[in-house]
Amino acid sequence: MLGSIRTPRSRVAVVAAALTGAALLATVPASAAPTSVVVPPVAENISAAALAPLAPTIVNAISAPAPIAGGAQGALLAQARVLLATPGIPAQVKATLEKVITFLDGSGGGGPDLPPADGPRIAQFLYPTIGKGCISASGDSVGTALAVPGPATLPPPGPASGQTGFVFTALGTKTPTAQQNPPLTVQWVNFDNGRTGTAALTTESKINPDGPATLTAIADTGTGRVAAVISGSLTTTDAESATRTCSFAPTLGFFTVA
């Protein structure tokens, strides 16, 4: 169990910079604003343990035989409502679960995008995750994940219309190795078109090549409401230390591809 993880705005800024800084030098036009519901950025001091139980439901839906979209949506709704009814649930977790429920049942909701409308539109995953021993034998990394619905130019070469780019940054880590084995993966399900998929995150976008390690993937999600889970292993190296491999617990996100 991960427990409560603090997510100060400085961490959000680091991840946003990974998308809008030196690795993304060209000035690009903003993509069209989505017209559907978007789950807002994660709140401060949110408890990952309170939301993590939703991740296995998404993974199970992806691995189940078709049709799965309706069943997965119903299962997630039921589970989110059970979690929402937990006595003494923190207000920030309650607010996030309410947004998840309105996202899933189509009743509305959503919130501001990150960064502002003049940059790429980003959907932050619900909570950061911890990679034990990713920085050193006693140093853990905080991993943050983002989804970028297309059309967009980020992450390079950019998701087209009907695609989604995924970005995972392991704060405090060194250079990721070219071959990630075992890999960090994203598993996703589109509730509106029934598609599912799994993709390995790689270094091909060359974002932050000197660290912190940033891996990306682009998936053919199609348009609609999407749930995604990122988890798996990360391997990094530098000139002073041996190659280091660590694992990140699942983190999940909900977003709309317009």
pLDDT the model gives residue 5: 36
Q: Is pLDDT above 80 for 108?
A: no
Q: What is the pLDDT of residue 17?
A: 44
As given in the structure block, the two tokens for residue 160 are 């087209």
Question: Can you tell me the distance from the alpha carbon of 199 to that of 243, in angstroms, rounded to the nearest whole number?
Answer: 23
Kindly state the helix (H) or strand (E) to which residue 117 belongs, with its residue range: none
pLDDT at site 164: 97
- Residue ranges per structural domain of the chain: 9-27+35-257
- In this prediction, residue 216 carries a pLDDT of 97
pLDDT reading at 255 higher than 80? yes
Q: What is the pLDDT of residue 162?
A: 95
pLDDT value for 31: 37
Q: Are 70 and 61 in contact (CB under 8 A)?
A: no
Classify 57 in phi/psi space as left (phi over 0), alpha (psi -120 to 50) or beta: alpha
Residue 104: the pLDDT is 84
CA quadruple 73, 75, 81, 86: dihedral sign: negative
Which of 119 and 24 is assigned the larger pLDDT? 119
Mean pLDDT across 134-157 = 92
Residue 224, pLDDT above cutoff 80: yes
Cα–Cα nearest to 149, from 139, 141, 160, 157: 160
With CA atoms as reference, report the closest residue to 126 among 105, 111, 106: 111
pLDDT in tens, 45-101: 556 777 888 888 888 877 766 555 567 788 888 888 888 888 888 888 888 888 888
